[in-house]
Amino acid sequence: MPKNVFRTGLATIVAIGTLAPAAFAQRGTLKKEPVSQPLIRKIFTADPSAHVFKGRIFLYPSHDIESEVMENDNGDHFNMKDYHVFSMTDVEGKVKDHGVALSIKDIPWAGRQLWAPDAAFKNGTYYLYFPLKDKQDIFRIGVATSKKPQGPFKAEPTPIPGSYSIDPCVFRDANGDYYMYFGGIWGGQLQRWKNNRYDSTAGIPQPGDTAVLPRVAKLSSDMKTFAEPVHEVKILDEKGNLFMEDNKEKRFFEAAWVHYYNGKYYFSYSTGDSHNICYAMGDNPYGPFTYKGVILEPVEGWTNHHSIVFYDGQWYLFYHDVQISGKTHLRNVKVTPLFYNEDGTIKKQNAYKN
């Protein structure tokens, strides 16, 4: 168990003053009326990446399972082993489960923990990007391919060279270039990477440190390699300064997502231990991005992870909470409409009714 965690009675308390996952599940302190209902009930799903392919919304979420692993700060209890792909033609209609799209047993370099994936399409091929710990227990990002958006997908024999950490998001720019954004601190190991070099001794950022930044790299034409070295993505406050680690309400933690709207690039992300989905805006896919506000206030559970997609004349925000199970590692995917203000900023959404 990490040194900053101790167990007391019915809950796990994190010494920095925030409730760890077990506290939400066992105490049930956040029982609120949700604005939307779970899309998928037969299995537990989270971290939904939504894309429109062939006139349908396809969802590429994590698949939560009960693996009997003790909860801790590094997320070992999120011990996912495969991916299912889902699709729908109506966000209020039936969701189709296309079955297992990729299993950890079919990935040659696999160690453990298939976390939040993303997908992309180019020249007749669908690409599934996924974080996975290798046999040295270091998170890398892999890629698998299929001729169908639902898979099944066949994984490449090795991870993407130069890739690391978690939560890949692949964004297609208007000129046809593809960029991968990624990274997550704590269990996602991003804090261990300095100048794209791994340091197993690097600790969790402390108050007074500059916040760890997400990463980006343009993809090569084959969609299986990086076309350039990995860059940091700068997220700035309204004065043009980088955030400090202790600004937990605004700084990056994980779950990068990028979309384009009315001439602006929107970089949205989770603050992790403070549970906001925030966003920043910029003029370039590399950034810098200037912080604008909160898209989604905290949900029930320990994590908050989203995607944003335009479909049939409406923008939608996909996310998850723990309405069904009440357990932070057994989540359920949801969706709600997303709206913009006249100046291009995004209207804040609460997952629960006031």
Is residue 254 part of the annotated active site? The answer reads yes
Q: What percent of the chain has pLDDT over 90?
A: 88
What does CATH list as the number for 5-338?
Answer: 2.115.10.20
| pLDDT higher than threshold 80 for residue 10 | no
Of 19-33, 75-89, 190-204, 305-319, which range is least confident?
A: 19-33
What is the model's pLDDT at position 5? 32
DSSP annotation of 23 reads H
Question: Is residue 133 classed as helix, strand or coil in its secondary structure?
Answer: strand
User: φ, ψ for residue 205 (rounded to 5)?
Assistant: -55, 145
> Residue 27 carries which side chain, given as an amino acid letter?
R
What's this model's pTM, rounded to 2 decimal places? 0.91
Query: Measured between alpha carbons, how far is residue 303 from residues 208, 219, 284 in Å?
Result: 24, 28, 28
Which residue in 71, 167, 254, 273 is the catalytic one?
A: 254
**Burial letters 151-162, b for 16+ CB under 10 A, else e:** bbbebbeebbee
- 28 pLDDT tier (thresholds 50, 70, 90): very low
Question: Is residue 233 classed as helix, strand or coil in its secondary structure?
Answer: coil
Average model confidence (pLDDT) across the chain: 92
- 11 pLDDT tier (thresholds 50, 70, 90): very low
8 A C-beta contact, residue 35 and residue 44: no
What is the model's pLDDT at position 162? 98
What is the model's pLDDT at position 288? 98
| pLDDT higher than threshold 90 for residue 224 | yes
CA dist 131 and 167 (Å) reads 6
Average pLDDT over residues 246-269: 98
8 A C-beta contact, residue 254 and residue 183: yes
Chain centroid, CA 246 distance in Å: 21
Is residue 118 part of the annotated active site? The answer reads no
Average pLDDT over residues 113-130: 98
| pLDDT higher than threshold 50 for residue 269 | yes
Average pLDDT over residues 129-141: 98
- Residue ranges covered by each domain of the chain: 5-338
As to burial, measured by CB atoms within 10 angstroms (0-12 exposed, 13-18 middle, 19+ buried), residue 5 is: middle
| pLDDT higher than threshold 50 for residue 175 | yes
| pLDDT higher than threshold 80 for residue 30 | no
What is the model's pLDDT at position 15? 31
- Tokens 């910029």 belong to 282
Q: Looking at per-residue confidence, does 119 or 30 come out higher?
A: 119
Q: Looking at per-residue confidence, does 353 or 6 come out higher?
A: 353
What is the model's pLDDT at position 182? 98
Average pLDDT over residues 221-240: 98
pLDDT, tens digit, 9 for 90 and up, residues 47-58: 999 999 999 999
Strand 264-270: give its sheet, edge to edge.
235-236, 289-296, 277-282, 264-270, 254-261
- 262 pLDDT tier (thresholds 50, 70, 90): very high
